[in-house]
Amino acid sequence: MTILIAGDPHRNFSPIIRACLARDPGTLILLGDLDCQRPLDQEFAAVMTAGWHVHWILGNHDCETETAYDNLVGHAGDLGFRVTGLDGVRVAGLPGVFKPAVWNPIEPPRYRDRDSFLAAQPKARVWRCGLPLWHRDTIFPEDFERLTKQKFDVLVTHEAPSCHRHGFAVIDQLAASGGARLIVHGHHHDSYTATLSNGIMVRGLGLSETWALPADRG
């Protein structure tokens, strides 16, 4: 069964939908920055009706407005901060982005977890009894700690590993700790293939670009 991974749509879902409908049903993974103006199940109704299973991780643009956030978060298929078995492949999801107010990975973190960060915020910044909307996409060290305790074959992430000029070595390390053979990322809209020094393959995807996981499953 096909596992199709798609780069940031930024509301342009048509190329992804066409790519799905041109294949037999399988699993679709969206790498964030959907910026949905309608609920996810409406945007991908044709794909789901055709028998596809749709999964996703959060991107930074999905937390810019309440509309984009609500139309994505809470819908089935969230891969964030967990390992999910998809057609025999263990896929780990790392959503969101690094933010210096919490953690710039080249420096010690200012906060290790959401609870400590939230406790330091003024009450005016609390949103829906939790983090501000603009920090719902923030990566915390606790997210890495959760994933490093698990094993997985593929890491899908919004941020890039170190092979990209705007990437981070901690993502390389996370993938290695999980035993992954492949990292697939969006965010920067660059389509490329690379191999890290530790032998892990990297695939970066462009805007609305789709890429089928190889038959050897990463």
Take residue 116 and report the two structure tokens written for it: 């400590």
Which ranges constitute the DSSP H helices of 30-186?
Answer: 40-43, 45-49, 66-70, 114-119, 141-147, 169-178
**Separation of alpha carbons 8 and 218, rounded Å:** 21
- Tell me what the pLDDT averaged over the chain comes to: 97
Domain of 105: which CATH number? Answer: 3.60.21.10
Alpha carbon 22 to its chain's center? 24
Q: What is the dihedral of CA 40, 73, 150, 140, to 10 degrees?
A: 140
pLDDT (0 to 100) of residue 134: 96
Segment 158-197, tens digit of pLDDT: 999 999 999 999 999 999 999 999 999 999 999 999 999 9
The model's pTM is 0.97
Take residue 187 and report the two structure tokens written for it: 């965010």
Q: Are 206 and 216 in contact (CB under 8 A)?
A: no
Within-domain flag for 45: yes
Within-domain flag for 217: no
**Number of structural domains in the chain:** 1
Question: Which range marks the domain in which residue 30 is found?
Answer: 3-212
Within-domain flag for 218: no
Segment 32-75, tens digit of pLDDT: 999 999 999 999 999 999 999 999 999 999 999 999 999 999 89
Within-domain flag for 43: yes
At residue 217, does pLDDT exceed 70? no
Containing H/E element for 19? helix 14-21
**Separation of alpha carbons 73 and 217, rounded Å:** 27
